[in-house]
Amino acid sequence: MSAIITALLIPLAGTVLGSAFVFFMKNEMPELFQKILLGFASGVMVAASVWSLLIPAIDMGSVWPVVVGLLGGFAFLLLIDYITPHIHPKGGPEGPQSHLSRTTMLALAVTIHNFPEGMAVGVAIAGAATADFSTASAIALAVGIAIQNIPEGAIISMPLRSAGNSRLKSFAIGSLSGVVEPVGGALVLLLASAATATMPYLLPFAAGAMLYVVIEELIPESSQGEHSNVATIGFAIGFAMMMVLDVVMG
């Protein structure tokens, strides 16, 4: 049980560490550095989706549950994105009209982003307990997501600081946005324990949700303006690192 709790909390630790950047940097993160971090986070999430979730799901048997789960993950995040008022650091308001503050809507955007990552870790842990999925692969996924959560935490806490919030408040909101990850992971664990036959669907579902975030948010933000080539390099490094991490630990 302690190992499961630790695995669920590893990604949250990455978010907290990244949010702490607000204590050591100026009010705004340099554009070049932000593009590198966005590209890196995108690469890690795509590699984790492929190597840690989709391929193991395909190895379980038929490809059709994988297709259904993948599309279901996309559809789920699309629905959440549509019904939740939120705003990205470099974009305008999205979702239904709301009188929520910019700070609250920024936090909601990160919450939407972090939830599928928690689901991915939860489904990997469930797979290690109920299916042909190694514990080392589950830990590798949790560590990989934690690493990419470091730049994500910085990317959310710094704009909160620039919006006029104190460093402590920016750090707290950035850190709390990661709490949804262990919550999402725990919910998936409960679902998987109720029906082990859902694993071929849950693994690609988590992958689809993560890929939605990359396509809808991270890649567009990293390709806007200058230094898009640097974001591409960051993507390649993040993808390669997560691929090696999964293969070595798996």
Tell me the pLDDT band of 92, cut-offs 50, 70 and 90: low
Residue 147 has pLDDT above 90, yes or no: no
Residue 237 has pLDDT above 90, yes or no: yes
Q: Cβ neighbours of residue 51 under 8 Å, at least 6 residues apart?
A: 242, 243, 246, 247, 250
| 3 state DSSP class of 1 | coil
Q: How far apart (Å, rounded) are the C-alpha atoms in residues 221 and 215? A: 10
Which is more confident, 210 or 138? 210
Q: Would you state the pLDDT for residue 156?
A: 78
* One-letter amino acid for residue 123 of the chain: V
Residue 98 has pLDDT above 80, yes or no: no
Tell me the pLDDT band of 226, cut-offs 50, 70 and 90: confident
Q: Would you state the pLDDT for residue 24?
A: 85
Q: Would you state the pLDDT for residue 145?
A: 85
- Which of 52-61, 130-139, 185-194, 208-217 bottoms out in mean pLDDT, i.e. has the lowest? 130-139
Residue 87: phi, psi to the nearest 5?
A: -150, 135
Q: Would you state the pLDDT for residue 34?
A: 79
Tell me the pLDDT band of 222, cut-offs 50, 70 and 90: confident
Domain ranges of the chain: 2-20+30-249
| 3 state DSSP class of 93 | strand
The stretch 200-228 carries a mean pLDDT of 87
Which is more confident, 2 or 32? 32
Tell me the pLDDT band of 143, cut-offs 50, 70 and 90: confident
| 3 state DSSP class of 32 | helix
Specify the pTM: 0.84
Tell me the pLDDT band of 250, cut-offs 50, 70 and 90: low
Tell me the pLDDT band of 5, cut-offs 50, 70 and 90: confident
Q: Would you state the pLDDT for residue 130?
A: 63
Tell me the pLDDT band of 196, cut-offs 50, 70 and 90: low
Q: Which of 194, 247, 195, 244 is nearest to 56 (CA)?
A: 247
Q: Would you state the pLDDT for residue 204?
A: 93
Which is more confident, 54 or 163? 54
DSSP assignment, residue 132? S
The stretch 91-113 carries a mean pLDDT of 75
Q: Which residues lie across from 52 on neighbouring strands?
A: none
**DSSP letters of 1-26?**
-HHHHHHHHHHHHHHHHHHGGGGTS-
Highest-confidence segment of 68-82, 141-155, 162-176: 68-82
Q: How far apart (Å, rounded) are the C-alpha atoms in residues 155 and 162? A: 11
